């Protein structure tokens, strides 16, 4: 009886049912996600007292001003450059792999490809990073391969370059970049592959029938149609690189990236306002990034 009355009520007022169904996820989103985000934002408008090191609960923009101190600006620029480099490289490496997986791999090969792409995601992130540390070490596998190929001079020449170089790959920005690239690559391949699979073969045939060379087809048919997938993938690689604080700690020059700065300021220094201000930076960068991505049609397929 009660059920019947309830179902009558929901039938007469469909909006009520909708509201009831939406309430839990909305509450979750509102309280847990947005709530913590606003708590973070609020923290960033406080400041730390110069003498006692205690947080002063008065609204101020002083903490944001501190972001523009040279050493902090370095951290931001460094992180954005790294994220951009990783994203571009991931797109370049992922495209042929995704193209092959989407167009040519058939039957068991398709499964092998999926497995090959997904497998790294199954093992622990830390295990992967530590094993890369060994691969890149001065006396590691990569160094050994270069020595066997009599190419040590090439490696040394690269490591002698300012900025990207260092004493060995594992303590250089090149090393950090390679590990980032490896760890986030699946997040680029999968959306690109999905986008490529949606490109109808008839269009490629039409393009060929109209006399386009393969290169032309790639440039003016496949790439534009795959672009939303690339942009979607780049959102993952870009944001994941920006927020990561473990890889640059294990592989690289020890110079901080944003994630590490947040971790250290809130934990070690008790400087929660500055940590919060730092945490707002990726949010802003991603907001800009997502706006651009939307313009490029990354979400059209959603």
Name every residue whose Cβ is closer than 8 Å to that of residue 78 and which is 6 or more positions away in sequence: 255, 256, 257
Record the tokens describing residue 173, joined without a space: 């920005």
Place of tokens 């059209």: 300
User: What does each C-alpha distance from 117 to 73, 105, 122, 222, 238 come to in angstroms?
Assistant: 36, 13, 10, 22, 19
Interacting stretch for another protein, rule CB under 8 A, among 2-10, 24-32, 36-44, 74-82? 74-82
Residue 273 lies near another protein (rule: CB under 8 A): no
Closest listed residue to residue 91, CA positions, set 236, 216, 278, 208? 236
Please say whether the beta carbons of 67 and 76 come within 8 A.
yes
Determine, following the binding rule CB under 8 A, whether residue 68 of this chain makes contact with another protein: no
Instruction: Give the DSSP letter string of 218-275.
Output: IIIIIHHHHHHHHHHHHHHHHHHHHH--SHHHHSS-S---HHHHHHHHHHTS--HHHH
Does 247 sit near another protein (CB under 8 A)?
A: no
Least separation in angstroms between CB 33 and another protein? 21
Q: What gap in Å lies between CA 244 and CA 282, rounded to an integer?
A: 11
| 65: contact with another protein by CB under 8 A | no
Q: Roughly what angle, to the nearest 10 degrees, separates helices 70-103 and 272-295?
A: 40
* Alpha-carbon span 101 to 111, nearest angstrom: 9
Q: CB of 53: closest distance to another protein in angstroms?
A: 4
Query: Which stretch in 86-94, 181-189, 263-271, 284-292 sits in contact with another protein by CB under 8 A?
Result: 263-271
Choose the stretch contacting another protein; rule: CB under 8 A; options: 4-12, 132-140, 147-155, 290-298.
132-140
Query: Binding to another protein by residue 52, rule CB under 8 A?
Result: yes
Among 16, 30, 34, 53, binds another protein (CB under 8 A): 53
Give SS3 for 48: strand
**Burial of residue 259, with CB atoms counted within 10 A of its CB: 0-12 exposed, 13-18 middle, 19 or more buried:** buried
Query: Could you tell me which stretch among 2-10, 13-21, 110-118, 256-264 binds another protein (CB under 8 A)?
Result: 256-264
Q: Report the site for another protein in 172-231 (rule: CB under 8 A).
A: none
**Binding of residue 133 to another protein (CB under 8 A):** yes
Q: Burial code of 136-151, b = ≥16 C-beta within 10 A, e = fewer?
A: bbeebebbeebeeeee
DSSP letters of 67-90? TTSHHHHHHHHHHHHHHHHHHHHH
Of 159 and 189, nearer to another protein (C-beta) is 159
The two structure tokens encoding residue 234: 């780049």
252 forms part of the interface with another protein (CB under 8 A): yes
**253 touching another protein, by CB under 8 A:** yes
The piece of 8-16, 217-225, 228-236, 246-254 that touches another protein (CB under 8 A) is 246-254
Q: Is 259 in the site for another protein (CB under 8 A)?
A: no
The residue count for binding another protein (CB under 8 A) is 37
Stretch that binds another protein, among 1-9, 49-57, 89-97, 102-110 (CB under 8 A): 49-57
Q: Which of 21, 22, 134, 145 binds another protein (CB under 8 A)?
A: 134
Residue 269 interacting with another protein (CB under 8 A): yes
Binding site for another protein (CB under 8 A): 48, 51-53, 70-72, 74-75, 78, 133-134, 137-140, 166-168, 170-171, 249-250, 252-256, 261, 264-265, 267-271, 274
């Amino acid at each position: 009886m009660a059920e019947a009355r309830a179902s009558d009520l929901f039938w007469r007022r469909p909006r009520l049912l909708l509201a009831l169904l939406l309430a839990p996820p909305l509450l979750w989103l509102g309280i847990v996600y947005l709530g913590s985000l606003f708590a973070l934002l609020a923290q960033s408008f406080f400041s730390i007292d110069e003498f006692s090191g205690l947080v002063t609960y008065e609204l101020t923009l002083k903490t944001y001003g501190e972001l523009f101190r040279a050493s902090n600006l370095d951290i931001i620029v460094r992180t954005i450059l790294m994220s951009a480099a990783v994203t571009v490289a991931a797109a370049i490496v992922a495209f042929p792999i995704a193209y092959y997986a989407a167009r040519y791999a058939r039957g068991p090969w398709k499964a092998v490809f999926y497995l090959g792409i997904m497998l790294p995601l199954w093992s622990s992130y830390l295990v992967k990073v530590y094993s890369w540390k060994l691969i890149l070490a001065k006396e590691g596998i990569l160094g050994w391969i270069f020595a066997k190929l009599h190419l040590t001079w090439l490696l040394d020449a690269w490591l002698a370059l300012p900025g990207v170089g260092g004493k060995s790959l594992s303590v250089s920005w090149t090393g950090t970049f390679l590990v980032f690239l490896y760890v986030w690559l699946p997040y680029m391949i999968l959306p690109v592959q999905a986008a490529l699979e949606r490109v109808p073969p008839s269009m490629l045939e039409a393009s060929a029938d109209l006399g386009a060379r393969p290169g032309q087809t790639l440039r003016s048919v496949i790439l534009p149609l795959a672009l939303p997938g690339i942009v979607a993938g780049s959102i993952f690689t870009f944001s994941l690189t920006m927020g990561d604080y473990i890889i640059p700690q294990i592989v690289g020059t020890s110079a901080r990236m944003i994630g590490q700065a947040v971790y250290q300021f809130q934990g070690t220094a008790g400087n929660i306002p500055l940590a919060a201000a730092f945490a707002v930076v990726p949010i802003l960068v991603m907001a800009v990034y997502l706006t651009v991505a939307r313009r490029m049609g990354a979400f059209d397929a959603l």
